[in-house]
Structure 1
Amino acid sequence: MKLFNPYTPGAGFPPSYLAGRDEVINDAEQTIMYVQKGIVQRSKIYYGLRGVGKTVLLNRIEEYADDNWVMYEHIEVSEDDTFKAIMATAIQKLITQMSLKAEIKQLATKAASVLKAFQLKYTQGDVEYSFNLGNVNPAYGTADTGQFENDLKEIMVQVGMLAKKTDNMICFFIDEVQYLKQEELTALLTALHRINQKQLPILVFAAGLPKIAKLAGDSKSYAERLFEYVEIGSLEYEDAKKALVEPAMNQDVTFTQEAIDYIVKVTEGYPYFIQEYGKQVWKVMHDKEINLDCAKKAESAFLVNLDESFFKVRYDRATKMEKDFMFAMVKCGDLPCTISQVAIGMKRDAKSIAPLRSQLIHKGFIYSTSYGEIDFTVPQFDEYLKRINPNLIIEENDML
Structure 2
Amino acid sequence: MSRVPNPYRPGFNVPPPAFVGRDGVLASVREALDVAALDGRTPRPLILTGTRGVSKTVALGEASALAAERLGWPAVHVEVRPRRPFTPLLLERLEAVRLDLEHTTQPSRRGTRVTGGKVSASALGVGAELTIERGGEARGPADPIGQALDATMRVAMREGAGLVLTLDEAQLATRDELAAFTAVLQEHMGADWPLVVIVAGLPSLRDPNRSVTYLERGEWQELGLLDPADARRALIDPAAEAGRPLDDAAADLLVEASGGYPYAVQLYGHHAWRASASSSRITVTHARKALDAARRELEEGLYVARWNDASAREQEYLVAVAALIVRTGEATGPQVAAELGKAQTQVSYLRDRLLKKGTLYTEGPRLLFLTPGMAEWVSGR
SS in 2 for 1:171: strand
Deviations 1:55-111 (A, max 9, x none): 112112222333433232111113222123222323333344455589xxxxxxxxx
CA contact (8 A) 1:182 1:215 kept: no
CA contact (8 A) 2:85 2:177 kept: no
1:290-305 matches, within 5 Å, as: 290-305=282-297
Alignment: residue pair count:
341
Q: Match of 1:294, as an amino acid?
A: H
2:319 aligned with 1:327: yes
| Identical columns (%) | 24
Aligned to 1:78: 81
Task: Specify whether residues 78 and 321 from structure 1 end up closer, same or farther in structure 2 by C-alpha distance, changes over 3 A only.
Answer: farther
Q: Match of 2:86, as an amino acid?
A: F
Q: How many angstroms apart in 1 are the aligned matches of 2:258 and 2:225?
A: 9
Match of 2:193 among 190, 200, 212: 200
Task: Specify whether residues 341 and 159 from structure 1 end up closer, same or farther in structure 2 by C-alpha distance, changes over 3 A only.
Answer: farther
State the Cα distance separating 1:280 from its structure 2 match: 1.2
SS in 1 for 2:10: coil
2:344 aligned with 1:390: no
State the Cα distance separating 1:304 from its structure 2 match: 0.8
Task: Specify whether residues 204 and 5 from structure 1 end up closer, same or farther in structure 2 by C-alpha distance, changes over 3 A only.
Answer: same
Task: Specify whether residues 152 and 354 from structure 1 end up closer, same or farther in structure 2 by C-alpha distance, changes over 3 A only.
Answer: farther
Task: Specify whether residues 191 and 71 from structure 1 end up closer, same or farther in structure 2 by C-alpha distance, changes over 3 A only.
Answer: same
State the Cα distance separating 1:271 from its structure 2 match: 1.9
Aligned to 2:95: 92
1:183-194 matches, within 5 Å, as: 183-194=176-187
Report the aligned-residue RMSD. Answer: 3.7
Q: Match of 2:54, as an amino acid?
A: V
Aligned to 2:304: 312
Q: How many angstroms apart in 1 are the aligned matches of 2:234 and 2:258?
A: 12
Match of 1:54 among 48, 53, 56: 56
Q: Match of 1:142, as an amino acid?
A: A
CA contact (8 A) 2:42 2:195 kept: no
Gaps (5+ residues) in structure 1?
103-138, 144-150, 392-400
Gaps (5+ residues) in structure 2?
106-138
State the Cα distance separating 1:275 from its structure 2 match: 0.8
2:36 aligned with 1:35: yes
Aligned to 2:279: 287
State the Cα distance separating 1:276 from its structure 2 match: 0.6
2:142 aligned with 1:142: yes
Q: How many angstroms apart in 1 are the aligned matches of 2:28 and 2:211?
A: 27
CA contact (8 A) 2:91 2:145 kept: no
Match of 1:178 among 168, 171, 175: 171
Q: Mean alpha-carbon deviation: is it higher for 182-191 or for 207-216? A: 207-216
Aligned to 1:147: none
Q: How many angstroms apart in 2 are the aligned matches of 1:141 and 1:73?
A: 20
Q: Match of 2:303, as an amino acid?
A: F
Task: Specify whether residues 21 and 229 from structure 1 end up closer, same or farther in structure 2 by C-alpha distance, changes over 3 A only.
Answer: same
TM-score normalised according to structure 1 size: 0.71
Q: How many angstroms apart in 1 are the aligned matches of 2:44 and 2:78?
A: 19
CA contact (8 A) 1:46 1:207 kept: yes
Aligned to 1:121: none
Q: Mean alpha-carbon deviation: is it higher for 82-91 or for 208-217? A: 208-217
SS in 2 for 1:75: strand
CA contact (8 A) 2:54 2:261 kept: yes
Deviations 1:176-235 (A, max 9, x none): 122222223323332222222221222211222233245599421x5343x211222222
Task: Specify whether residues 19 and 358 from structure 1 end up closer, same or farther in structure 2 by C-alpha distance, changes over 3 A only.
Answer: closer
SS in 2 for 1:289: coil
TM-score normalised according to structure 2 size: 0.74
Q: How many angstroms apart in 2 are the aligned matches of 1:299 and 1:322?
A: 28
2:51 aligned with 1:44: no
Q: Match of 2:52, as an amino acid?
A: R
Task: Specify whether residues 79 and 322 from structure 1 end up closer, same or farther in structure 2 by C-alpha distance, changes over 3 A only.
Answer: farther
CA contact (8 A) 1:276 1:302 kept: yes
CA contact (8 A) 1:186 1:216 kept: no
SS in 1 for 2:188: helix
State the Cα distance separating 1:375 from its structure 2 match: 5.7
